[in-house]
Homo-oligomer: A and B are copies of this chain.
Amino acid sequence: MVAYNGALSVMYWDLRTGAPKQGVEQRSNVIGILSGDVFEMSTSAEMANYLSKLSTDEAKQSLSSVTNKLVEECQKEYDRNKKIPAEEYKEYVVIQAQAESVWEEAREKADFAMFKPYLEKLVDFNKKFIDYWGYKENKYDTLLHMYEPGMTVKILDDVFGRLRSEIVPLVKSISEAGNQPETDFLYAHFPKDKQKAFTIEILKQMGYNFDAGRLDDTVHPFAIGLNPGDVRITTRYDEKDFRMAVFGTIHEGGHAIYEQNISKELVGTPLCDGTSMGIHESQSLFYENFVSRNASFWKKNLELLKKYSSGQFDDVSVDDYYRAINESKSSLIRIEADELTYPLHIMIRYEIEKGLFNDEIQVEELPQIWNQKYEEYLGIKPDNDGVGVLQDVHWAGGSFGYFPSYALGYMYAAQLKNAMMKELPQFDQLLEEGSLQPIQEWLTANVHQFGKMKEPLEILEKATGEGLNVQYLIDYLQEKYSKIYQLS
């Protein structure tokens, strides 16, 4: 199964980095056949037999910790796939495919009514799945666990509540602050090949290993790990805004460094992967926000950036540059949001999903609730549903429970940063010197190496000595943005 998934990953990467378009149809057949075979293996009688034999107390005692964890993972997947009646799952896959293509058109036309019946079906299916899978405290927990094992509504309500009560006023103060940063110089022409060369320098500084990876062009950037010796990054370039490639690549680089440093012992097992979406995102956001949006990082690298660009930064000081790249402004589109307002976009989606699966919100109410929450949290309101409730693909793909990972990753990253500072108090100094290796080593020792051997909250507690604590993110944002906007 790992081998087949490895082959599938190469084909996925290839499709998104220049595979000839006329070959896509037959490629889809190939992918369909291999994915089907993996699914069959994961739910086969042979698998059931292995699982029952290897799950006895006697077996557990004689097996290595890796094998025990591996059995646990396979059992989880077996249950997840086996508990849904095959016919029902097939229907669901068909609806999913339809929903994604309808969503594309609906978003373009800003026509929620068009998408509504499909979204209703997807929600209904997922409600039934929750019944099949079961739940403890809250139905939505079951969906959260797909992406973030151990995460609950109880935890999220608490942390999101505290985060919201701190960020919403901060966002408001900033929008009213007089001293907005100058940003014009960000938008000068910066040739793609020069951006790429600069980006490669930064990736090397971060500790991304080019002998175990490569950087390619794509439309929607991603990182993909085939195995720790082959973790690829893709990015895209905007010659009128270098930030897309530079910060985007640093973000994907964080994901990639995670997978490059999973223990070699786990290669060839399903444990050789990130432990959850949230922990994965914590690594990308650590590098993107805590490293590359830090002033110390640019004390070294603005000089380098000046070498690669065509004069646009020549008269720009590190402080001006730092303020410019940290400009915060409420915006409608999640993927364009800055690091301060971003969590608010996630909370809105979380509250809606939680309401949907606890029968407190109906699909038809979504546009109205969406717009109301945007106004309340961000102070702006979408003109139409295309830039509102229809903007993300996740729901069209049936991925409910996924969004919170983005914000969780951010909270994890802030908490890890705090813990790291105790062991690496010279953190800012390291950034100024471009010596990022101790940072990567700390992350590898505390996060990367474990792969799926530890659950997300287990990693967090072991690394930081406590459970999820949102205060670190709140402190970071308060301190940073009060300073940038000189709030009293």
Residues of A whose CB lies within 8 Å of any CB of B are 3-4, 6-8, 10-11, 14, 18-27, 29-30, 33-34, 209-214, 226-232, 267-268
Q: Is the interface of A mostly helix, strand, loop or mixed?
A: helix
Alpha-carbon gap, A349 to B229, bound state (A): 40
Contact B267 A20 (CB under 8 A): no
Contact A22 B226 (CB under 8 A): no
Alpha-carbon gap, A44 to B223, bound state (A): 38
Pick the contact of A25: B24, B214, B229 (CB < 8 A): B229
Q: Which residues of B contact A26 (CB under 8 A)?
A: 6, 226-227, 229-230, 267-268
Pick the contact of A212: B22, B33, B227, B229 (CB < 8 A): B22
Copies in the complex: 2
Kindly provide the distance from the CB of A193 to the nearest chain B CB, expressed in whole angstroms. 11
Alpha-carbon gap, A213 to B22, bound state (A): 8
Can you list 23 A-B pairs with a CB-CB distance of less than 8 A? Answer: A3-B30, A4-B33, A6-B27, A6-B30, A7-B30, A10-B10, A18-B214, A19-B214, A20-B214, A20-B229, A20-B231, A20-B232, A21-B211, A21-B212, A21-B229, A22-B209, A22-B228, A22-B229, A23-B212, A23-B230, A26-B226, A26-B268, A27-B230
Contact B214 A24 (CB under 8 A): no
Q: Which residues of B contact A8 (CB under 8 A)?
A: 7
Kindly provide the distance from the CB of A19 to the nearest chain B CB, expressed in whole angstroms. 7
- A32 nearest in chain B by CB position: B3
Q: Which residues of B contact A6 (CB under 8 A)?
A: 26-27, 30
Task: Using known A-B contacts A7-B7, A11-B10, A34-B7, determine if residue A22 contacts B268 with beta carbons closer than 8 Å.
Answer: no
Alpha-carbon gap, A20 to B224, bound state (A): 13
Contact B267 A226 (CB under 8 A): no
Q: Which residues of B contact A214 (CB under 8 A)?
A: 18-20
Kindly provide the distance from the CB of A42 to the nearest chain B CB, expressed in whole angstroms. 16
Q: Which residues of B contact A14 (CB under 8 A)?
A: 10, 14
A3-B34, A6-B27, A25-B229 given; 14 more Cβ-contact pairs under 8 Å? A3-B30, A4-B34, A6-B26, A7-B8, A7-B11, A7-B30, A7-B34, A18-B214, A20-B229, A22-B230, A23-B230, A24-B229, A27-B226, A29-B268
Q: Which residues of B contact A19 (CB under 8 A)?
A: 214, 230
Contact B20 A213 (CB under 8 A): yes
Kindly provide the distance from the CB of A38 to the nearest chain B CB, expressed in whole angstroms. 12
Kindly provide the distance from the CB of A318 to the nearest chain B CB, expressed in whole angstroms. 34
Kindly provide the distance from the CB of A329 to the nearest chain B CB, expressed in whole angstroms. 39
Q: Which residues of B contact A227 (CB under 8 A)?
A: 23, 26-27
Alpha-carbon gap, A245 to B25, bound state (A): 31
Alpha-carbon gap, A229 to B25, bound state (A): 8
Kindly provide the distance from the CB of A410 to the nearest chain B CB, expressed in whole angstroms. 29
Contact B211 A22 (CB under 8 A): yes
Q: Which residues of B contact A228 (CB under 8 A)?
A: 22
Kindly provide the distance from the CB of A259 to the nearest chain B CB, expressed in whole angstroms. 11
Kindly provide the distance from the CB of A46 to the nearest chain B CB, expressed in whole angstroms. 15
